[in-house]
Amino acid sequence: MSENIAVLGLGLMGSALAGALLGAGHRVTVWNRTPAKADPLVAEGAIRADTPAAAVAAADLVIVCVLDYPATRGLLEEASLEGKVVANLTTGRPSEARETASWVTGRGAAGYLDGGIMAVPQMIAEPGALILYSGSRTAFDRYQPVLAALADSLFTGEDPGLAPLLDLAMLTGMYGQIAGFLEAAALVRSAGYPVGEFTTSLLVPWLNAMAAQQPHMAAQVESGDHATEVSNLEINRSGMETLVRTFQEQGVRPDLLLPLKDAIDRRAGRGLGHEGLSGLVEEL
């Protein structure tokens, strides 16, 4: 079924979203602060709106994807939201999502969804793209067929802050992995070994094997039982010492590893060296 949708914000991500909705056969009205960015979409059949308010007026579902939440609010300020569903796919903090949900519904909107996009623009409408949603379950159920044109969609809960929180948690995992990669790459490079060869043949298979352990650690985090038969904090403390000294001998800074070493030292220093690594969550 063809739906009336507005897409506000046509940066790299917003343009990809609007393009996917056009491709799925919807009537898409677009607006962007810099009007020229709408040109390729208009050439594909999108309708250009001169103001955000006009774009909102033309649609039942309003998708916003701009730099941040202040920009989101700024462009919805003049629009009549009565009866509209607003899906804000802008990245932000959970508290901003909750405030925006109240603000939007307080102005008569039929529902608010917050979304966390787990994809780059090139992945939109392709297999592997995921968008996390939270907020109005009714709005999600109503528009799930439309949202499916963008990416796999997962409704995470009625607290509007949940999707952004889970989005940021996933980014946290990613940054941790990137930190580990960068330290490993610097160490390997210091020995003159090819970093590409190391990464493909050794590191990636190893990280995949280690990632398979994480559900077990997650169960320990949930239960609070950090007993281990894998490796305790004392062993990891000693391993970290070896690592850091090796970095120093190779002339590489272990800066991205040191916070983890500190947490291990702190917990083991409090007599909990028999625990496994999952115990470190209690230090956070």
Question: Where along the sequence are the contacts to ligand NDP (CB under 6 A)?
Answer: 9-14, 32-34, 37, 65-67, 71, 74-75, 90-91, 117, 120-121
Strand 4-8 versus strand 27-31 pairing type: parallel
- Cβ proximity to ligand NDP: between 173 and 269 the closer is 173
- Cβ proximity to ligand NDP: between 32 and 220 the closer is 32
Strand order of the β-sheet with 152-155 is: 47-48, 27-31, 4-8, 61-64, 85-88, 111-118, 130-135, 152-155
Please, what is the minimum distance in Å from the beta carbon of residue 166 to ligand NDP? 13
Please, what is the minimum distance in Å from the beta carbon of residue 68 to ligand NDP? 6
Please, what is the minimum distance in Å from the beta carbon of residue 94 to ligand NDP? 14
Task: Report how far residue 139's alpha carbon sits from residue 141's, in angstroms, rounded to the nearest whole number.
Answer: 6
Please, what is the minimum distance in Å from the beta carbon of residue 243 to ligand NDP? 33
Please, what is the minimum distance in Å from the beta carbon of residue 182 to ligand NDP? 20
Q: Which residue's CB atom is positioned nearest to ligand NDP? A: 11
Report helix, strand or coil for 245.
helix
- Cβ proximity to ligand NDP: between 78 and 225 the closer is 78
What are the backbone angles phi and psi of residue 148, rounded to the nearest 5°? -65, -20
- Cβ proximity to ligand NDP: between 52 and 279 the closer is 52
DSSP per-residue letters across 141-168: HHHHHHHTTTSEEEE--SSTTHHHHHHH
- Cβ proximity to ligand NDP: between 47 and 97 the closer is 97
- Nearest CA to 115 out of 142, 147, 144, 90 is that of 90
Both tokens of 40, joined, read: 């390729």
Both tokens of 86, joined, read: 């607003």
